[in-house]
């Protein structure tokens, strides 16, 4: 896969986070950026188009296993951040009855 | 005792787990045992390695250095570790009479300490990323702990904006891993070669610095900080201002020394000036006590930025100002929180008569104010003088004086709460002993760091600071002059509360505009590099 594709996905996410007015959409865009970066990182480790990084008979040309190890941690962090953000947005809806950033800003007083 | 760095991280985390899982009346006291052990271990570690004159590396699991997790300690990280332990002691004692049964709060607080200590000792970019993210998640839970409308909103804003910022850290890490093949900071320091023009290494520097800029509240992207501070419980605001904002600055120090880029030094000095002046102007316009202190944090971060980017990579002034700011801002936020809880209001134009009602609390607060405004004999003066000594142009020096005058102006505005008549309604409200102890110790620390700075600083640096003279009459006169100008400014402009001040007070931008500013910030950095 081409790294350019990851950059395009990332730009979509950035466009979304700069323009979206809704909290849920912001969280989705954050997830899109994160997914793009995970793809980019995995792609970097796969530069030689090798085999899976497991020591088996016949596996010689392994891909770099480090990015995969790092990205699984990033996925966990991203999942917890998203879960927490969604939980807080439920609370916000309970208090304010809205999920639009603008309407929240008006009530800031 | 080789494993002390690991213990420093794990002891608070285990203690927090014990508190959360057992959840009985007595088990909460485990945190004091943990804090005590932690303090002893840190001092022992410092002595055993002879003040850490050389860096100490601990390779976990003895893998190849290129891929393994390595903990690294040197003088700077040790200084931060001591500051962390000190401030956590103070906050723990401060919250103890109200939150002693609240195991969930103590769990989050102590867990955060372990994670923060990990962040200070890590030696590779990815572990740093993980620790920063856990810090963000935990501190956003602590910000929204009250669970009322305002704090929930501020918590979400903090969490989302900081996470978006950290995504750029990940991007920078991808670039650096692609071009250099490792994430170990020591190896990268030796390996990185900065070429002219725009390449992957420079792009990685720019995107990592953008993330650091969000984390430590630089000029266009500090919007989350005042929101978070005014919504959080006052002990947590103290923690945020005193330490958690500094996590970004610590990463800034580490990353900057890793790349050794000269091109961006001026950029960060200009950014520091903008941060300092805009933060101070917003602070002048505010009426809310905690908002004034929050914007003052931003302004002080600007001064620290000027101190961290001085000639020949000299960062002593900046580092010492981080430490001193940590101490006096914690003092100010804790005493400010005490004032708010006693008076049940936060408007500085409404609170009156603090000096007559609570003389002791007022003295603590005055010590904090004199420290932050840079009066000789208090700790803020020492680090500010080091920063002023290191600036290399006359214009910058005059700008520093201007920032000082603005700082004095908003603290004169804040200090109006001391005057006025005794309030009879407040007779029943008393300040508990648990709240007094940390305030007393922190004001003592302010004075000790302001007077006996030579033996303390010589533990952590070889640079000579003999040029600071506490009893130089011209310095005192200068301080008096600045205070007079500030008082004049307060009387003729701030007190009248003109329309433009009201306009500044109401200025507020939405989440998407903040993100737009963030993208703009990255773009400006790329243009600067071209």
Q: Residue A109 above 60 pLDDT?
A: no
* pLDDT tens-place string over residues B150-206: 889 889 989 999 999 999 999 999 888 888 888 888 888 888 776 666 688 888 889
Q: Do A91 and B152 touch (CB under 8 A)?
A: yes
In angstroms, rounded to a whole number, what is the distance separating the alpha carbons of residues B365 and B418? 10
Q: Do B508 and A27 touch (CB under 8 A)?
A: no
| A106–chain B Cβ distance below 8 A for any pair | no
Mean pLDDT for chain A overall: 86
Q: How confident is residue A31, by pLDDT bands cut at 50, 70 and 90?
A: very high
Strands B70-73 and B56-59: antiparallel
A34, A96, A101: residue with CB nearest B510: A101
Q: Which pLDDT score, from 0 to 100, does residue B509 have? A: 81
| A95–chain B Cβ distance below 8 A for any pair | yes
Helix (H) or strand (E) holding B396: helix B394-414
Contact status, residue B104 vs residue B164, Cβ threshold 8 Å: no
Over pLDDT 90: what percentage of chain A?
A: 40
Burial class (CB within 10 angstroms; exposed 0-12, middle 13-18, buried 19+) of B446: buried
Q: How confident is residue A1, by pLDDT bands cut at 50, 70 and 90?
A: low
Helical spans, DSSP H, in B25-148: 30-48, 75-99, 103-121, 125-143
Q: Which pLDDT score, from 0 to 100, does residue B51 have? A: 61
Q: Which residues of chain A have a CB within 8 Å of the CB of B156? A: 23, 85, 88-89, 92
List the single residue in B with minimal CA-CA distance to A97.
B149
Q: Residue B52 above 70 pLDDT?
A: no
Q: Which pLDDT score, from 0 to 100, does residue B427 have? A: 61
Class of domain A3-106: mainly alpha
Q: How confident is residue B339, by pLDDT bands cut at 50, 70 and 90?
A: confident
Q: Which pLDDT score, from 0 to 100, does residue B40 have? A: 92
Q: Do A17 and B515 touch (CB under 8 A)?
A: yes
Instruction: Enter the pTM of the model.
Output: 0.93
**Which whole number is the average pLDDT over B282-292?**
88
Burial B483-506 (b: 16+ CB within 10 A, else e): bebbeebbeeebeeeeeebeeebe
Mean pLDDT for chain B overall: 86
Q: Do A66 and B67 touch (CB under 8 A)?
A: yes
* pLDDT tens-place string over residues B61-73: 888 888 888 888 8
Provide the 3-class DSSP secondary structure of residue B460. helix
Q: Do A96 and B140 touch (CB under 8 A)?
A: no
**Per-residue tokens: A24:** 């849920």
In angstroms, rounded to a whole number, what is the distance separating the alpha carbons of residues B459 and B380? 19
Contact status, residue B284 vs residue B392, Cβ threshold 8 Å: no
Q: Do A95 and B174 touch (CB under 8 A)?
A: no
3-state helix, strand, coil in chain A (%, to 5): 70, 5, 25
Helix (H) or strand (E) holding B476: helix B473-489
Q: Which residues of chain B have a CB within 8 Å of the CB of A23? A: 156
Contact status, residue B475 vs residue B125, Cβ threshold 8 Å: no
Q: Which of A44, A72, A84, A99 to mutate to test the interface with B (most CBs of B within 10 A)?
A: A84
Q: Residue A27 above 90 pLDDT?
A: yes
* pLDDT tens-place string over residues A35-46: 999 998 888 877
* pLDDT tens-place string over residues B104-133: 889 999 999 999 999 999 988 999 999 999
CA distance B171 to chain A (A): 6
Q: Which pLDDT score, from 0 to 100, does residue B101 have? A: 81
Q: Residue A108 above 70 pLDDT?
A: no
* pLDDT tens-place string over residues B191-215: 877 666 668 888 888 999 999 999 8
**Which whole number is the average pLDDT over B1-8?**
84
ipTM (interface predicted TM): 0.93
Q: Which residues of chain A have a CB within 8 Å of the CB of B134? A: 77
Select, from the ranges A102-106, B9-13, B372-376, B490-494, the one with the highest average predicted confidence (pLDDT).
Answer: B9-13
Contact status, residue A24 vs residue A89, Cβ threshold 8 Å: yes
List the single residue in B with minimal CA-CA distance to A35.
B167
Which of residues B502 and A32 earns the better pLDDT score?
A: A32
* pLDDT tens-place string over residues B16-38: 999 899 888 788 888 899 999 99
In angstroms, rounded to a whole number, what is the distance separating the alpha carbons of residues B394 and B184? 40
Q: Do B149 and A95 touch (CB under 8 A)?
A: yes
List the single residue in A with minimal CA-CA distance to B66.
A66
Q: Residue B313 above 70 pLDDT?
A: no
Q: Which pLDDT score, from 0 to 100, does residue B420 have? A: 79
The residue assigned the tokens 């002891």 is B11
Q: Residue B338 above 60 pLDDT?
A: yes
Q: Do A30 and B160 touch (CB under 8 A)?
A: yes
Q: Do A33 and B164 touch (CB under 8 A)?
A: yes
* pLDDT tens-place string over residues B73-97: 888 888 899 999 999 999 999 988 8
Q: Which residues of chain B have a CB within 8 Å of the CB of A86? A: none
**Per-residue tokens: B321:** 């100002």
User: Could you write out the DSSP letters of every residue in B331-355?
Assistant: HHHHHHHHHHHHHS--BTTT---HH
Q: Which pLDDT score, from 0 to 100, does residue B61 have? A: 83
From the list B76, B84, B82, B85, the residue with the least C-alpha distance to B185 is B76
Q: Where are the domains of chain B?
A: 4-529
Q: How confident is residue B135, by pLDDT bands cut at 50, 70 and 90?
A: very high
Q: Which of A67, A70, A90, A94 to mutate to test the interface with B (most CBs of B within 10 A)?
A: A70
B140, B153, B515: residue with CB nearest A18: B515
A20, A34, A92: residue with CB nearest B152: A92
Q: Which pLDDT score, from 0 to 100, does residue B194 have? A: 66
From the list B3, B1, B17, B5, the residue with the least C-alpha distance to B127 is B5
A14, A40, A89: residue with CB nearest B519: A14
In angstroms, rounded to a whole number, what is the distance separating the alpha carbons of residues B440 and B267? 40
In angstroms, rounded to a whole number, what is the distance separating the alpha carbons of residues B236 and B81? 19
Q: Do A77 and B130 touch (CB under 8 A)?
A: yes
Q: Residue B363 above 70 pLDDT?
A: yes
**Per-residue tokens: B418:** 């001391």
């Amino acid at each position: 896969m081409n790294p350019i594709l990851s950059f395009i996905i990332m730009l979509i996410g950035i466009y979304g986070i700069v323009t979206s007015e809704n909290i849920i959409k912001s969280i989705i865009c954050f997830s899109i950026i994160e997914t793009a970066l995970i793809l980019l990182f995995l792609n970097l480790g796969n530069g030689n188009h090798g085999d899976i990084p497991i020591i088996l008979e016949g596996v010689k040309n392994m891909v770099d296993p480090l990015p995969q190890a790092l990205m699984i941690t990033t996925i966990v962090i991203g999942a917890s951040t998203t879960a927490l953000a969604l939980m807080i947005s439920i609370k916000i809806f309970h208090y304010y009855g809205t999920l639009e950033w603008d309407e929240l800003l008006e009530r800031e007083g | 005792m080789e494993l002390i760095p690991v213990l420093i991280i794990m002891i608070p985390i285990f203690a927090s787990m014990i508190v959360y899982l057992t959840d009985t009346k007595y088990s909460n006291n485990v945190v004091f045992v943990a804090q005590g052990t932690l303090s002893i271990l840190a001092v022992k570690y410092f002595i055993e390695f002879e003040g850490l004159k050389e860096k100490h590396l601990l390779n976990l699991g003895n893998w190849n250095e290129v891929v393994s997790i390595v903990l690294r300690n040197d003088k700077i990280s040790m200084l931060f570790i001591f500051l962390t332990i000190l401030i956590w002691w103070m906050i723990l004692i401060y919250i103890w009479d109200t939150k002693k049964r609240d195991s969930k709060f103590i769990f989050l607080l102590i867990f955060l300490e372990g994670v923060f200590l990990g962040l200070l000792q890590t030696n590779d970019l990815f572990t740093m990323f993980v620790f920063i993210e856990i810090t963000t998640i935990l501190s956003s839970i602590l910000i929204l702990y009250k669970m009322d409308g305002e704090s929930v909103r501020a918590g979400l804003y903090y969490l989302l904006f900081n996470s978006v910022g950290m995504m750029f850290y990940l991007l920078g890490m991808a670039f650096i891993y692609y071009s250099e093949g490792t994430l170990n900071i020591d190896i990268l320091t030796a390996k990185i070669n900065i070429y002219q023009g725009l390449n992957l290494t420079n792009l990685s520097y720019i995107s990592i610095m953008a993330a650091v800029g969000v984390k430590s509240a630089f000029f266009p992207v500090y919007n989350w900080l005042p929101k978070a501070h005014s919504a959080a419980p006052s002990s947590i605001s103290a923690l945020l201002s005193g330490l958690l904002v500094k996590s970004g600055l610590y990463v800034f120090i580490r990353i900057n020394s890793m790349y050794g880029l000269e091109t961006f030094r001026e950029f960060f000095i200009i950014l520091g000036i903008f941060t300092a002046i805009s933060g101070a102007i917003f602070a002048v316009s505010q009426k809310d006590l905690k908002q004034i202190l929050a914007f003052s944090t931003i302004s002080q971060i600007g001064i620290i930025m000027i101190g961290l980017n001085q000639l020949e990579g000299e960062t002593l002034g900046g580092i010492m100002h981080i430490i001193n700011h940590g101490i006096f801002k914690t003092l100010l936020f804790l005493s400010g929180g005490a004032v708010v809880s006693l008076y049940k209001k936060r408007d500085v134009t409404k609170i009156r008569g603090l000096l007559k009602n609570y003389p002791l609390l007022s003295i603590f607060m005055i010590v904090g104010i004199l420290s932050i405004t840079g009066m000789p004999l208090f700790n803020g003066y020492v680090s500010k003088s080091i920063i002023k000594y290191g600036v290399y142009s006359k214009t910058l020096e005059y700008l520093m004086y201007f920032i000082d005058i603005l700082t004095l102006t908003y603290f004169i505005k804040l200090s109006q709460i001391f005057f006025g008549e005794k309030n009879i309604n407040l007779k029943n409200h008393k300040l508990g002993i648990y709240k007094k102890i940390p305030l007393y110790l922190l004001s003592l620390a302010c004075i000790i760091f302001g007077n006996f700075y030579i033996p303390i600083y010589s533990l952590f640096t070889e640079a000579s600071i003999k040029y600071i003279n506490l009893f130089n009459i011209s310095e005192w006169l200068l301080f008096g002059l600045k205070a007079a100008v500030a008082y004049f400014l307060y009387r003729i402009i701030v007190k009248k509360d003109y329309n433009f001040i009201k306009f500044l007070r109401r200025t507020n931008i939405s989440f998407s505009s903040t993100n737009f500013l963030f993208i703009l910030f990255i773009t400006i950095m790329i243009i600067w590099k071209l």
